A and B are shown apart, each in its own frame.
Chain A
Amino acid sequence: MPSANAKSTIVGGPYTNLDPAGGVIHLNLTNYPKDKGLYIFQVVRNRASDNARPTVINMDNAVDVVTTANHADVVFTAVGKFGSTDCSVVECALWAQFDGASGSYQLTDEDQYLSSISFAAATAPANPADTIEASVNGAVLATNNPGTLVYRTPVTLTVKTGSGAAPTIKSSTADCSVTGNLIQALKGSGGCDFEVTSPGNTTISKKVSHYPFILAKGVQIVSQKRNSIKTGKTVALSAETNFGETISYTSVTKKICAVKGNQVTGLKVGNCNLALTAAGTSNYLALGTNLSVVVSKK
Chain B
Amino acid sequence: MALIGTSMASAASVKSPNGAILTVSKTSSINTGDKLTITGSHFDETVGIYLALCKIVKKIELPTPCGGGIDKTGATGSSIWISSNPPPYGVGLAKEYLPGGRFSYTIRVSPMIGKLDCRKIACAIYVRADHTRSDDRSFDIAVPITFKK
Q: Which residues of A contact B41 (CB under 8 A)?
A: 244
B146: min CB distance to chain A, Å: 29
Bitwise interface map of A from 172 to 193 toward B, beta carbon under 8 Å scored 1, else 0: 0011110000000011000000
- Asked if B85 and A244 make an inter-chain contact with CB atoms under 8 angstroms apart, the answer reads no
Q: Which residue from chain A places its CB closest to the CB of B19 in the assembled complex?
A: A281
A242 and B99 in contact, given A177-B85, A186-B84 (Cβ under 8 angstroms) = yes
Number of A-B residue pairs having CB atoms within 8 Å of each other in the complex = 37
A218 closest partner in B (C-beta): B99
How far apart sit A283 and B42, CA to CA, in the bound complex (Å)? 10
In whole angstroms, what is the CA distance A242 to B98 when docked? 9
Let me know if A152 and B99 touch, CB within 8 A.
yes
Cβ of A284: which chain B residues have Cβ within 8 Å of it? 100
Chain B neighbourhood of A245, CB < 8 A: 100
A244 touches B100 (CB 8 A): yes
Chain B contact surface mostly: loop
Q: CB-CB < 8 A to A281: which residues of B?
A: 19, 42, 100
Is A174 a contact partner of B98 (Cβ separation < 8 A)? no
> Within the assembled complex, what's the spacing in Å between the Cα atoms of A174 and B84?
9
1/0 per residue A276-288: CB within 8 Å of B? 0000010110000
Bound Cα distance A60, B98 (Å): 73
B100 with A187: CB separation less than 8 A:
no
In the bound complex, do residue B102 and residue A187 qualify as a contact, i.e. CB atoms below 8 Å apart?
no
Contacting residue for B45 out of A171, A187, A241, CB 8 A: A187
Q: Give a binary string over B38-51; 1 marks a CB under 8 Å from any A CB, 0 the rest.
A: 00011001110000
- B interface footprint on A256-298 (CB within 8 Å = 1, 0 otherwise): 0000000000000000000000000101100000000000000
- Contact flags A219-247 to B (C-beta < 8 A → 1, else 0): 00000000000000000000001111100
Within 8 Å CB of A186, what residues of B?
45-46, 84-85, 97
Q: Is the CB of B47 within 8 A of A244?
A: no
Interface residues of B (CB under 8 A from A): 19, 41-42, 45-47, 84-85, 97-102
13 A-B pairs with C-beta separation under 8 A: A152-B99, A152-B100, A174-B46, A176-B85, A177-B84, A241-B100, A242-B99, A242-B100, A243-B100, A244-B100, A281-B100, A283-B100, A284-B100
The 8 A-B residue pairs with the shortest CB-CB distance, nearest first, are A243-B100, A244-B100, A186-B45, A152-B99, A174-B46, A177-B85, A244-B102, A174-B85
